């Protein structure tokens, strides 16, 4: 396939306003590329959000082409921003944005998202159930798989003592993760040097996290790792941690979870039991209430001292991913649905074959 890469502006210090400008910059820079495709009139348009700012242009393009439009939602950006207090302006602006979002979503012929809870949330916005589809994230279980510590070059390069138990967070370091709780646990456990905390990734919260962990001998930060060493990175962990603030729990289904589970290492996640993440953890990991630092510390210590249970839970997580989120399973089902959808007579601008 041909890929067009479009520039975007990235703010040095993200705020509510600069985040909007950041998203708008890509929506505008990609607009000429989008409309240049009018010359061959595609059969369908697939728009992926984030960023939702691209969706109005995708919908407009589909109507000009008299073709179908599909919106896939990975993250309810607006809802998360409102709950976390990141949306600029007052209540009137938030209400206006919410109404616009509902109108926009209803304009698409099909809207999909990545979890059952997010699907229900989508329908609560007034999207008819017959227009919604579950399309979860997937993981290539042949590229992410359990790796023995003795043959993991990345773990060896970190010069970890042989008896170390590594607590790993790998992913974006943003505000909705609540990673300050993990630093607090590291502070409480600094007298147990065998338990090491590694945070790999980048994001707006990283500078403050590095500042908060200054002087802690059991905390180490790594840069974003290239995809070629992703399996090595995920296998550095003895215990993965997946932290979320309670307000964002059902508005996102963390895509990083599938890779963590596929690595065959146990995962501790913070979520309420009635959320979808909570339901997955009941089957394939360990669940801790969001914001409960004492419970997080307790589970880390318990698993650090229980290698047999870590192995058992890691195997269960791996089995869950292979059964539910393997690449070929998810994309095979999606392809079948996509072909059936295109064959159905639909809206007023559908072109017959």
Q: What is the pLDDT of residue 247?
A: 61
pLDDT in tens, 32-62: 999 999 888 888 999 999 888 999 999 999 9
Neighbours of 35 (CB within 10 A): 13
pLDDT of residue 335: 92
* Average model confidence (pLDDT) across the chain: 88
Any alpha helices (H) in 16-65, and if so which ranges? 16-29, 31-35, 55-65
Closest CA to 318 of 341, 284, 268: 284
Q: What is the mean pLDDT of residues 184-205?
A: 93
**116 φ/ψ angles, rounded to the nearest 5 degrees:** -60, -40
Are the C-beta atoms of residues 247 and 111 closer than 8 Å to each other?
Answer: no
Predicted local confidence at residue 350, as pLDDT: 45
Per-residue pLDDT for 349 more than 50? no
The percent of residues above 70 in pLDDT, for the chain, comes to 93
In the CATH hierarchy, which top-level class contains the domain 16-34+41-138+328-343? alpha beta
pTM of the model: 0.81
What is the mean predicted confidence (pLDDT) over 72-86? 77
Q: How confident is the model at residue 6 (pLDDT cuts 50, 70, 90)?
A: very high
The pLDDT value given to residue 87:
63
pLDDT confidence of residue 251: 57
Mean pLDDT of 300-324: 95
Residue in 271, 272, 283, 268 with CA at minimum distance from that of residue 324: 283
**pLDDT tens-digit readout, 106-145:** 999 999 999 888 899 899 998 999 999 999 999 999 999 9
pLDDT exceeds cutoff 80 at 271: yes
Would 16-34+41-138+328-343 and 149-324 be classified into the same CATH topology? yes
pLDDT of residue 25: 94
The reply to whether omega before 50 is within 30° of 0 (cis) is: yes
Name the residue ranges covered by the structural domains of the chain.
Answer: 16-34+41-138+328-343, 149-324
Q: What is the pLDDT of residue 42?
A: 87
Q: How far apart are CA 306 and CA 308, in angstroms?
A: 6
* CATH tag, 149-324: 3.40.50.2000
Residue 352's pLDDT is 43
How far apart are alpha carbons 66 and 33 in whole angstroms? Answer: 18
- The residue among 306, 233, 136 whose CA lies nearest residue 314 is 306
Using CA of residue 115, residue 341, residue 140, residue 223, what is the dihedral sign?
negative
The residue-averaged pLDDT of 10-21 equals 80
């Amino acid at each position: 396939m041909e890929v067009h890469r479009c520039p975007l502006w990235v703010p040095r210090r993200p705020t509510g306003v600069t985040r909007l400008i950041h998203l708008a910059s890509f929506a505008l820079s990609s607009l000429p590329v989008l409309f240049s495709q009018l010359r061959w009139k595609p059969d369908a348009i697939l728009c992926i959000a984030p960023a939702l700012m691209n969706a109005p242009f995708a919908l407009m393009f589909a109507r000009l082409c008299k073709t179908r439009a599909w919106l896939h939602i990975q993250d309810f950006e607006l809802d998360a921003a409102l709950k976390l207090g990141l949306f600029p302006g007052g209540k009137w602006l938030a209400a206006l944005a919410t109404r616009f979002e509902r109108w926009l979503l209803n304009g698409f012929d099909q809207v999909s998202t990545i979890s059952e809870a997010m699907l229900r949330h989508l329908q609560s916005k007034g999207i008819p159930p017959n227009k919604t589809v579950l399309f979860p994230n997937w993981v290539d279980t042949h590229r992410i798989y359990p790796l023995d510590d003795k043959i993991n070059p990345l773990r060896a390069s970190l010069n970890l003592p042989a008896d170390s138990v590594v607590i790993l967070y790998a992913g974006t370091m943003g505000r909705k993760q609540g990673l300050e709780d993990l630093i607090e646990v590291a502070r409480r456990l600094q007298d147990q040097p065998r338990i090491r905390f590694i945070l790999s990734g980048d994001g707006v919260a990283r500078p403050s996290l590095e500042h908060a962990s200054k002087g802690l001998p059991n905390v180490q930060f790594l840069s974003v790792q290239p995809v070629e060493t992703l399996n090595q990175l995920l296998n550095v962990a003895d215990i993965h941690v997946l932290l979320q603030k309670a307000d964002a729990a059902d508005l996102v289904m963390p895509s990083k979870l599938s890779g963590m589970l596929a690595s065959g290492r146990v995962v501790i996640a913070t979520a309420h039991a009635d959320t979808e993440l909570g339901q997955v953890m009941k089957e394939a990991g360990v669940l801790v209430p969001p914001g409960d630092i004492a419970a997080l510390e307790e589970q880390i210590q318990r698993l650090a001292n229980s290698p047999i249970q870590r192995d058992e839970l890691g195997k269960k997580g791996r089995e869950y991913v292979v059964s539910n989120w393997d690449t070929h399973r998810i994309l095979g089902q999606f392809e079948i649905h996509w072909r059936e959808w295109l064959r159905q007579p639909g809206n007023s601008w559908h072109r017959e074959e």
